[in-house]
Structure 1
């Protein structure tokens, strides 16, 4: 599953991408010593460079074909059907731009934190930066903190747990996890652990990660969303007049968000330069996991840099007025939304994705694309031929002048996975030359035109 991590239980009606296990690994019958000896013997053979031939021209690798595009978009795609709590279906997909991919994701069911039934559902995406180490850690380590914090939530006098209590539990789980990660740096350095163990424990806090976690209580039909950074969740609902309406479930937390700018400037009134150009001392997200370099003191960062290969960000040579912070926080913004019952004739779905998708389209465009896809699926018209030939779309331009962007005139409906459908349309849609060009660029050149993209789409009710 690439950078993702499946936590759902196996059961009838699930289409799953198998997780690697020891049972799936090939049976090893030779001893390690024999294998090493054979490898050494093979390495000792002198390669015959004559086999490369004679030429005065360069042979380049081929760009992706349309079939290669479809295969690449579906490489990490999955569909889960018949999930607990009336979730008919959910789809997911991931496409890397970085190498390795800095995105990660998690999905699945977990025991009702308040002792009742049925199980709750969870979906999350993590957008790493300054490396993949922290997003990779979050996919396995965050949910245990969330479950523990929910279990500690205090019920009201009538025995119910309020929305406010759930929201506070989510905030506590995020900050507790981040404190355990970031504030342990000094203790790790001063411990008796071997150096390699210290280095590995410090490594995730050098990196950072945005995150969006959604929890669904099937009994109350409440959807709780906790967000740090610029991952985004949106609810799509079909109204009585047949239109699809987008409802924001999260707010981007960056140095360009007015409420976040006001919060940070109020916190650091003596540092007028703290937010410049939509960034906090060079960092775009204003709420993140990790990013110790924006949370540790100058003295601690110096010691980490000198003795444990810590990062040099943010640079004092560039940000001369930088002090000690901490300038960013892992405390999420949390919302609670009532999901309409599909039995009442109001189909709805959840889209959550890293900013790689939102760089290419708006929330309203994403909801419109999935809504129209849903209607076609309901009618059984899952695959539709292109309505316009490629040559109608004009010249292909990808670079600083134009990055990957969704255009309604290029919308196409050819994928049976809703997440792949969004991804394809964000990269060029029906414009075959555009999307082939987008995937022709590989890391690091690809980063100038597209980011890592991770998407999950959840259909409440029977699903398509």
Structure 2
């Protein structure tokens, strides 16, 4: 949150990147994607949220391919000339500065819920309900998400649908994370569909390999395809449109649930995080980490990079790979292209100027980061025990740890499941505690826990911003882009309650 994804010094180059990230975000169209098998249409929900505005949800119904997906509509015809000239006599006071009132607690609740959603799963199939929410700091928001059901990719019609939940944390722009909401799952569906069963069974290892292959293939299409784009006969504007998802970057966390085997497949590229919460026999909540942050501070990642580039000892410094914090990402062509292509893209197509060659003099060719995910599989118990999944971008994890998040959702879940009427909101405001920001000041503490929200994802975000400390929460939400980036990051959270954890 408080450390930038890309380490940079104030400069004209940095200003170019910031303005590049402010390009207005196109609305997601209710467009379509091809479906690997017949049967019911795929229903997905894609999410975006722009700071200061309501979030948008776009349902996608898969029928036929549409190459114009995500393209802004044609501009409307110009209006006729206005005859009413604006009156400027009463803009504001002439002897004092008029400012709007400070954000209220009610305003905060409205903003936290503006990008929220909740779905009860009618046919159950191992899932009772899931909640989600998103609060932006960047403008446009660089986070994105996907959730919904899709046809079983391993069996023909009649098999139970799978479900998917994903969060994508963009940096240096929203273009890559936005693209992943539309493209990543179709790539994964295709590679899973192409698997050949062994004695009628597809192993977890084969599924994991297919998911990883889809991640790499999509990133190759973005990054390695850049050379074909610039050498094509496309118009210059069309080339720029196709190159931008390779200029920007994004972490990705995709989870797939197969109800027929109760298998949860988790694929992580970067530092989004998935945590499983489950109630133990003594009534306590246990946090099971399903992912590990893939950054320049991860010893396993450092060892992997140094083994790959044994003659380049300066690659990883200060927890970063040539200034980039995550060690696995989509896009980020500047860390993946060879020198010749990178120079041409910068010279002719305004490619991202990072990593800075003047600062990182030992930078050679790479690619130094990869989109290849770490994929794992866990069996979700179907014995009636209480189990839930939390997946979130690092904006949440900058404010709390795995166990704290699980405890917050677990206690919230217990309150929701209590017999009788739903509990009244708990508004135990903390008094006398100063407002502090930064990793130590805003780090969640149990003494600030509050349970006033009906959506589990909103509940986590509120507690990450200060919880019951009303002034801290309102203070954090008062800052708008770009000042807000020093206080809070984009925050995207989904919480999935599996069967046995009955939420009303």
2:245 paired with 1:204: yes
Deviations 1:107-145 (Å, cap 9, x if unpaired)?
011111111510100000000001000100100111110
Counterpart CA distance in 1 for 2:426 and 2:325 is 38
2:78 paired with 1:36: yes
Q: 1:36 Cα shift?
A: 2.2
Superposition pairs for residues 36-435 of structure 1, below 5 Å?
36-38=78-80, 40-41=81-82, 46-84=85-123, 85-115=125-155, 117-156=159-198, 158-341=199-382, 344-379=383-418, 382-386=422-426, 388-392=428-432, 394-398=433-437, 400=438, 402=440, 404-435=442-473
Q: 1:46 Cα shift?
A: 4.3
SS at match of 1:148: helix
The verdict on how the C-alpha distance between 1:34 and 1:91 changes in structure 2, with shifts beyond 3 A counting, is closer
More helix by share: 1
Tell me, yes or no, if the aligned pair for 1:411 and 1:429 is still in contact at 8 Å. Answer: yes
Deviations 1:153-193 (Å, cap 9, x if unpaired)?
2221x210000000000100000000011001111111111
Q: 1:86 Cα shift?
A: 2.6
The verdict on how the C-alpha distance between 1:200 and 1:74 changes in structure 2, with shifts beyond 3 A counting, is same
Q: 1:55 Cα shift?
A: 2.1
Counterpart CA distance in 1 for 2:368 and 2:153 is 33
Tell me, yes or no, if the aligned pair for 2:133 and 2:458 is still in contact at 8 Å. Answer: yes
Counterpart CA distance in 2 for 1:186 and 1:299 is 11
Q: 2:489 aligns with which of 448, 451, 454?
A: 451
Tell me, yes or no, if the aligned pair for 2:427 and 2:452 is still in contact at 8 Å. Answer: no
Q: What TM-score does the superposition give when structure 2 sets the normalisation length?
A: 0.83
Q: What TM-score does the superposition give when structure 1 sets the normalisation length?
A: 0.90
Counterpart CA distance in 1 for 2:104 and 2:423 is 19
Counterpart CA distance in 1 for 2:303 and 2:76 is 65
Q: Which moved more, 1:349-358 or 1:110-119?
A: 110-119
Corresponding residue of 1:29: none
Tell me, yes or no, if the aligned pair for 1:216 and 1:224 is still in contact at 8 Å. Answer: yes
Query: How many residues in Structure 1 have an aligned counterpart in Structure 2?
Result: 440
Counterpart CA distance in 1 for 2:143 and 2:449 is 26
SS at match of 2:130: strand
Deviations 1:280-305 (Å, cap 9, x if unpaired)?
00000001000000000111111111
Q: 2:474 aligns with which of 421, 433, 436?
A: 436
Deviations 1:192-232 (Å, cap 9, x if unpaired)?
11111111000110000001000001010010000000000
Tell me, yes or no, if the aligned pair for 1:390 and 1:433 is still in contact at 8 Å. Answer: no
Q: 1:384 Cα shift?
A: 3.6
The verdict on how the C-alpha distance between 1:245 and 1:329 changes in structure 2, with shifts beyond 3 A counting, is same
Corresponding residue of 1:26: none
The verdict on how the C-alpha distance between 1:435 and 1:331 changes in structure 2, with shifts beyond 3 A counting, is same
Deviations 1:8-63 (Å, cap 9, x if unpaired)?
379xxxxx986489xxxxxxxxxx9996242x325xx5433212244222112322
Q: What residue ranges of structure 2 are gaps of 5+ in the alignment?
A: 1-25, 31-41, 46-54, 61-73
The verdict on how the C-alpha distance between 1:352 and 1:83 changes in structure 2, with shifts beyond 3 A counting, is farther
Tell me, yes or no, if the aligned pair for 1:135 and 1:209 is still in contact at 8 Å. Answer: yes
The verdict on how the C-alpha distance between 1:351 and 1:289 changes in structure 2, with shifts beyond 3 A counting, is same
The verdict on how the C-alpha distance between 1:34 and 1:103 changes in structure 2, with shifts beyond 3 A counting, is closer
SS at match of 1:123: strand
Counterpart CA distance in 2 for 1:20 and 1:62 is 36
RMSD: 2.3
Q: 1:306 Cα shift?
A: 1.0
